[in-house]
Structures are given as C-alpha cells and as structure tokens.
C-alpha cells in the first residue's frame, strides 16, 4: 500500500504544476518589465495561518514551524520528489545486518552560519541532545529508538539503535531531527529558539512574533544558491484576510485556502491555486482523565453525535475524508475499523447509560487559522453536541498559546476537549500511533495530550515499533487500531486536503503531502 501511495504521489504531487517548475531557475532577463520593481524578483512573502512557536528544530512540533526551520537547518537525509530517501548532510550510509548500526559518511564542505564546521562530532552532539531528557524535544518519538552515536573519523559517524526499527532512516528526514550548531547551543542555551544557527539555504534576519519572520539567503550555503534572497513569513489567522492580501498583491503565497474559494480563485488572472494530497488527520482530543470523559460510553456518544460526512461535504466542500481508523489509508499498515456512524439517538442512549440523560457541560478549546476551516468546524461540533444535550463553550486561542496550553502535564491541565491535527512527516503508521496513543507519550514527554492509557495498546505499539518484520508489525498495529477505535480517546473527524494559492509568476515551489511548502528552489519568472 505504501509503494502504491508513493507511486500515486509521484504523479499528483505539485512539484511540477507551478509556473515554470519544469525548467531551471532563469536569470533575470535584460528585457524584464521595467514596471516590476527589482525587489519583487528577489523577495517572497508567505502568509501562514499561524505564527511559528519555536525556531529550535529540536523543540518544534508543528508544520508551520517545520516549514520555516526546513529553510534554516538541514537533516542528515531527506526525501526526493518520489519520497525516496536521498543524501543531504550525509552522502552515503550502510546498515548492519541486525539493523542496529547505521554508519553515515558526511559532507566535508559544510559550515554553520556561525562558522562552526559540520562533522561527525556535531552529529554525535545532536543525537545526544535529542535524546537528553533535559532537552525539551516534543517529537522525541522520531528519534528515541536511537541509543548512542560514535565518531568513527572526522566525517564518519555511527548511530546505534536500541532495537531494530524499520522506518529509522525515514525518521531522520524529520525537521525535528535537523542538525544545530553546538557552539550556538552553548552560547544561547534556551534562547536558541530565537537565535537559530543552521547549515541551511537561509538564515534568520528578523522575527517579530505575531507580525513577521524574515529569512535571508545564506551566502555560505553548501548547496545551490537560492534564487530568492529574502523570504518573509507573516501569520494571518483569518482566512478572508489571507485571501484579500493575496488578491491585492500584498503577499505572494497563502496556505489553507478555504475550499469554498477554490473554484473562484482558480479563475482569477495572475493566480495559481493547487489542491494537493495531505497526510493530516483532524480530530478532537478528549481528556480521558476527567469526569464524565473518563467513561468510554460518553466518548463513544460524542463520536456518534457528530456528522463527519456533512462536515467534509459542506464545510470543506469535499476537500477531505471522514476517518474510519486512527490511521489514514496511505499509511502502513492501515486497517479500517470504523466509522462511527452519525446517530444522535445512539449518542443519547449511550449518555443515558453513562448516567447523563440530560447531558453535561464541556469547554472546547480550538485554534483559528491552523487547520482548514478550523473555527467553522469547531462551531459545527458545538451545534452537533448541543443537539444531544452536551452544552459546549468554545474557547478560541492563538496558536503558540494554544500549544502551551494543551501540552501541560496531567497535574496542571485544564482541558476537556480540544481540536487538533496530526500530520506525520513519514508514511509509517508508527509515527501516528506511537506518539498519540502510547501512555508514556503523555505530556510533557510527548503528544498523547488526552492522557489515554490502555496497557494492551501499549503492548501492541511497543511490539510494532521494535521489529522490522512487516507481518508482525501489521498484526500488532492492526490490533492496536481496533482497541483505540473502541476506546474512543478522540472524536475521529477527517483527513484534509491542502490548498495553496500563489502568484502565477512564481515557479519552483515544492508542496509536499506532509504539508510542507518549501521555497529553496523558488524563483520569479517575471
């Protein structure tokens, strides 16, 4: 299934749909339009729905942050357009027969923007920092199968694993496993998040949180120099405002275009609008430790109370698919175990069985501008739950504050239910199931924000992550999916498409199904 998905992606990924993407970045012609200011061809302005919460790649846990840090930092390996794993800072590698040792040959011509040379000692430092419990690594599940790193010589390093792990190389492509400058960590400490020092194509020039973040081209970049010298990211939560800014020419690229606007924008001269695949699942997290959400019948009732088909068809205009499993069909090893049918009467029966025939009150926290139509979806859920007697109070929060709020440990949490999405940066189901549903991944350790715990699920997830045998992994993860679905620690909503709109004079933009929009190869055609 994974191979089939990758083949499909190779046909539909939006890597060649943008203006001029099938040609190399051109030099600015001598007869360029004199009415177009020179800086237009050298600057790119991107409007995202939310601000970046962190620029230390080891501390990030969101796609908006990953998009920015991917331009500042490099990983050892990366994906090509067909999602094959290819060299980045590592030029070659070999894996031991038992799957426990990975030896990487490293580039010998790379320096960080603070002048620190990149070498095997740097890789060792980064692996140790990622594994250090004193380091705030929100996505440690991407690297926690590693045990130690050893320097073989200046440009050769070995990473030893605790157990064989099938998708380990894929995990090293994650933005959260990028290489940071050891000297910068020593100099800035916790302030590294505001002073990011990487080896990437760009470096931070300025950041005014809530207003804009400016990247400038790295003059010492080891790879091909980007055509565009300045990238400006602006957080704009309101969908209508992002649209207006694009149509007015105030920004060049916007993400999370409302699906209802897709057809209209596609007919606007000067714009290129792309609907692309996405691996993101949207869900309502449930704090299973608080009354009455600690009752599985209540959680199942909430799932039956919501019409996911209508949300997809009406609010998302079809740009999504209702979930029928904790995994998406594109991920190995997906097993269909649902759906929860829309059945308000069944929801009322379950609530009555649980002792709540008259319903109860809930607070529903959600962001705005982070996910496709997130505010509208939250309002719809409020209405559905109200119809079965559950009185929901909505609390809208700014993204960075929202992340801090839901990441509080169990003794500090104030959550009832909360809207979130999870878009793994690899196509292996391990990265969906392990961090979201393993009991040990509850905050502050990981992303099990609802504090879900089922010892049998833990057993299956540990079994699935610690073997490379595909049949054993399929069986373990299949059983886990069935139990998770029955326990209903989420209100399972839908997967979403991603819609990106941009100036049609912009070429070379890469839009990946992991929702990263990258501008390393971007250029203006006029």
pLDDT tens for the 526 residues of the chain, in order: 434 333 334 333 443 344 333 333 333 334 344 444 444 579 999 999 999 999 999 999 899 999 999 999 999 999 988 889 999 999 999 999 999 999 999 999 999 999 999 999 999 999 999 999 999 998 999 999 999 999 999 999 999 999 999 999 999 999 999 999 999 999 999 899 999 999 999 999 999 999 999 999 999 999 999 999 999 999 999 999 999 999 999 999 999 999 999 999 999 999 999 999 898 999 999 999 999 999 999 999 999 999 999 999 999 999 999 999 999 998 999 999 999 999 999 999 999 999 999 999 999 999 999 999 999 999 999 999 999 999 999 999 999 999 999 999 999 999 999 999 999 888 899 999 999 999 999 999 899 999 999 999 999 999 999 999 999 999 999 999 999 999 999 999 999 999 999 999 999 999 998 889 999 999 999 8
Residue 436, both tokens: 């979201």
Name the segment(s) of the chain with CATH classification 3.40.190.10: 1-51+209-277+498-526
Residue 43, both tokens: 């600057």
Instruction: Look up the CATH architecture of domain 281-496.
Output: Roll (3.10)
Residue 143 and residue 173: Cα distance in Å, rounded?
11
Q: 440: alpha, beta or left, given left = phi > 0 and alpha = psi -120 to 50? A: alpha
Name the segment(s) of the chain with CATH classification 3.10.105.10: 281-496
- Could you please state the CATH topology (level 3) that the domain comprising 1-51+209-277+498-526 is classified under: D-Maltodextrin-Binding Protein; domain 2 (3.40.190)
Residue 184, both tokens: 């910068």
The stretches of 35-188 forming alpha helices (DSSP H) are 63-72, 120-131, 168-171, 182-188
Look at residue 368 in the predicted model and tell me its pLDDT.
94
Residue 464: name the closest of 505, 435, 507 by CA: 435
Look at residue 427 in the predicted model and tell me its pLDDT.
84
In degrees, rounded to 5, the angle at the alpha carbon of residue 421 between the alpha carbons of residues 172 and 272 is 85
Residue 281: name the closest of 328, 317, 236 by CA: 328
Q: Is the dihedral of CA 57, 63, 65, 67 positive or negative?
A: positive
Q: Candidates 3.40.50.1370, 3.40.50.720, 3.90.76.10, 3.50.50.60; correct CATH number of 74-184?
A: 3.90.76.10
Q: 302: alpha, beta or left, given left = phi > 0 and alpha = psi -120 to 50? A: alpha
Q: What is the pTM of this model?
A: 0.85
Name the segment(s) of the chain with CATH classification 3.90.76.10: 74-184
Q: Using an 8 Å Cβ cutoff, are 194 and 62 in contact?
A: no
Residue 271 and residue 422: Cα distance in Å, rounded?
29
Contacts of residue 509, defined as CB under 8 A and 6 or more positions apart, other chains included, come to: 14, 18, 21, 253, 500, 502, 517, 518, 519, 521, 522
SS3 365: strand
HEC string for 466-524: CCCCHHHHHHHHHHHHHHHHHHCCEEEEEEECEEEEEECCEECCEECCCCCEECCCCEE
């Amino acid at each position: 299934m994974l191979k089939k998905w990758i083949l499909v992606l190779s046909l539909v990924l939006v890597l060649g749909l943008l203006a001029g993407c099938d040609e190399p970045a051109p030099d600015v012609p001598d007869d360029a339009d004199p009415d177009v200011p020179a800086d237009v061809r050298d600057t790119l302005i991107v409007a995202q729905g939310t601000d970046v919460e962190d620029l230390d790649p080891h501390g990030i846990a969101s796609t908006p942050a990953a998009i920015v840090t991917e331009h500042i930092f490099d990983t050892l390996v990366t994906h090509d357009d067909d999602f094959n794993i290819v060299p980045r800072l590592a030029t070659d590698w070999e894996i031991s027969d038992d799957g426990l040792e990975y030896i990487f040959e490293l580039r010998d011509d790379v320096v960080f923007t603070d002048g620190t040379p990149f070498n095997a000692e740097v890789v060792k430092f980064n692996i140790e920092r990622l594994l250090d419990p004193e380091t705030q690594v929100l996505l440690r599940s991407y690297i926690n199968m590693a045990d130690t790193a050893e320097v073989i010589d200046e440009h050769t390093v070995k990473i030893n694993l605790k157990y064989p792990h099938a998708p380990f190389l894929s995990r090293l492509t994650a933005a959260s496993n990028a290489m940071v400058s050891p000297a910068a960590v020593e100099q800035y400490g916790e302030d590294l998040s505001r002073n990011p020092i990487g080896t990437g194509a760009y470096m931070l020039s300025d950041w005014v949180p809530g207003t804009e973040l400016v990247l400038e081209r790295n003059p010492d970049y080891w790879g091909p120099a980007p055509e565009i010298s300045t990238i400006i990211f602006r957080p704009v939560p309101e969908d209508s405002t992002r649209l207006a800014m694009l149509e007015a020419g105030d920004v060049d690229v916007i993400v999370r275009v409302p699906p209802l606007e897709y057809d209209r924008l596609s007919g606007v001269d000067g714009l290129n609008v792309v609907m692309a695949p996405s691996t993101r699942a949207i869900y309502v997290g449930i704090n299973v430790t608080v009354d009455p959400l600690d009752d599985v019948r209540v959680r199942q009732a909430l799932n039956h109370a919501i019409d996911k088909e209508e949300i997809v068809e009406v609010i998302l205009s079809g740009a999504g698919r209702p979930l029928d499993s904790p995994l998406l069909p594109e991920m190995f090893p997906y097993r269909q175990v649902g759906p929860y049918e829309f059945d308000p009467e069944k929801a009322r029966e379950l609530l009555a069985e649980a002792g709540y025939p008259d319903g109860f009150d809930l607070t529903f926290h959600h962001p705005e501008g982070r996910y496709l139509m997130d505010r509208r979806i939250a309002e719809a859920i409020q209405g559905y739950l109200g119809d079965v007697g559950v009185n929901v109070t909505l609390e809208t929060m700014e993204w960075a504050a929202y992340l801090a709020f839901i990441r509080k440990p169990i003794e500090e949490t104030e959550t009832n239910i909360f809207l979130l999405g999870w878009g793994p940066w690899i196509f292996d189901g391990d990265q969906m199931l392990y961090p979201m549903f393993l009991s040990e991944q509850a905050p502050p350790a990981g992303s099990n924000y609802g504090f879900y715990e089922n010892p049998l699920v833990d057993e299956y997830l540990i079994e699935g992550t610690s073997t490379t045998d595909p049949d054993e992994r399929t069986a373990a993860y299949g059983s886990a999916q069935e139990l998770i679905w029955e326990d209903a620690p989420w209100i399972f909503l839908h997967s979403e498409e991603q819609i990106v709109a941009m100036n049609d004079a912009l070429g070379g933009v890469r839009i990946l199904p992991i929702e990263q929009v990258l501008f390393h190869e971007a250029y203006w055609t006029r």
